[in-house]
Amino acid sequence: MNITRRTFGLGGLSLVITGCASGGLVDAYSYANAPLSDDLRPAPNAGYDRWVASFRSRAQAQGISAATLDAGFGNAGFLPGVVTRDRNQTEFTRTLEDYLAIAASEERVANGRAALQTHRSTLQQVEATYGVDAEIVVAIWGLESSYGERRGNIPVISSTSTLAFDGRRGRFFERQLIAALRIIQNGDIAARYLTGSWAGAMGHTQFIPTSYEAYAVDFTGDGRRDIWSDDPSDALASAAAYLQRNGWTSGTRWGAEVTGSSGGGTIIQPQAGGPRFAVTDNFNVIKRYNNSDSYAIGVGHLADRIAGGGPLQTPFPPDANGLTQADREEIQRRLTALGFDTDGVDGVIGTNSRAAISDYQRSRNLPVTGEPSQALLRSLQGS
C-alpha cells in the first residue's frame, strides 16, 4: 500500500505531530537554518495581541511567572508564515520506496557513519545507560535534523503562540506554549535561544515542548537539558530515554527484511510487491516517536546501513507509470543535463522534478503534465 502523510509543501516528506517528533524527515526543514523569510518575522496583529493579553492570566494560573512571560514574549509576535504553513499542508501519497530513497540515501548513510564515529564515546555511554542501540539513536538524529545541521531557527514562543491563537489546533499548541514557557522558567535555555521548526519541534532530535518536559535528560551533568547546543549529547541521550521509557527492549532488533519464507513473527509489507519486513515490539516503540510504518522502517533500515549493512535485497515494483527507480533517476539525470534542474537525482519525483518536467515539455511543445512517463523517458533519451 502507499503511505499517506501530510507535507509542509517545502520539498519535505511529512509533518506528524506526535509524542515527540514533528518531522519524519529533515527535508521538511530544508528552510530551517536559512535566514528567516519576511513571513516568519513578527507582524502586527491586534487580535493576536488581545489573545496574548488574555493568555497571560491562564499561564500564571498554571505557574508561569510574570517575569517568565515578560522574557518569553519580549521579542515574540504573530508569524503569518507559520499559519500559512500549517494550513497549506497538502495530502499526498508517498511510497515506501520513495521514502527510503531519501531516508536511507547514500549521503545520509555516509554522514550517519561519520556521526557515529565522531560521537562514539558519547553514544556508547548512551547505549550503556538506556539500552538503546547507538545506531538507532543516530538514525533518529539523521532523520530528524540531518545530524544536527537543521535544528530550526524559528522562535518557539512566537510559533506556538501564533498557532494557539489561530485556533485550528489551539488547545494542543497552547499546551506546547505553556511547556515552552516552563522550559524557560526552569533555566534550561534563555528565551532568545529557544528556537525550532515552525511547528515548535526543537533541537537535534526535534522534541515538541511537552515531550521535552517529559523525556529530556541532562546527560552532560551541567544542570541544563540542552538539546539545542552544538554538543548533541543531551539530545541523543534524550532520544534514547524517550525510547527506553516507551518500552524499548535492549538487545532486540527493530526487525529485518524477510526474503523467502517468513519464518514466523509479525510480517508487514507496506508497499505491494515490495520488500517484506519481520518486525518486533521495538518497531512499535520507534512508532511512538513518529506514528508511521515508513518512519519506523526508515529509522531501522538507516540504522542497519550505518552499522555496515547493505541495501534492501528485494526490489520495488515499477510505479503506476511503469517506471522503476532507475528509470526515474535517468529522467532526473537527463533533465538536469539539459538545463532543467531537478535538484538532485534520487528517483523521487517531487516538486522540483515536476517543475523541471513541465519546463522541458513546454520547451519541446509537448503537452505540459509535469508527470514522469515512459514517453517522457523516450523523449529525453532521444534528446
For 258-287, what is each residue's pLDDT tens digit?
998 766 689 999 999 999 999 999 999 999
Quote the mean pLDDT of the chain.
91
Nearest to 241 by CA among 225, 253, 255: 225
Distance CA(354)–CA(279), nearest Å, equals: 35
Average pLDDT of the residues in 334-338:
97
pTM: 0.89
Grid cell locating 354 = 515536476
Name the helix (H) or strand (E) containing 93.
strand 91-94
Report strand pairing: 276-279 vs 255-258.
antiparallel
Confidence of residue 27 (pLDDT cuts 50, 70, 90): very low
pLDDT beyond 70 at 20: no
Grid cell locating 309 = 549493512
Distance CA(104)–CA(334), nearest Å, equals: 23
Burial 118-154 (b: 16+ CB within 10 A, else e): ebeebbeebbeebebbbbbbbbbbbbbbbbbebbbbb
Grid cell locating 74 = 519580549
Confidence of residue 33 (pLDDT cuts 50, 70, 90): low
* Residues 86-135 pLDDT 10s: 988 655 568 999 999 999 999 999 999 999 999 999 999 999 999 999 99
Nearest to 323 by CA among 348, 294, 355, 350: 348
Instruction: Identify the residue with better confidence: 356 or 17.
Output: 356
Residues 276 and 268: beta-carbon distance below 8 Å = yes
Distance CA(251)–CA(260), nearest Å, equals: 25
Q: What pLDDT score does 90 carry?
A: 56
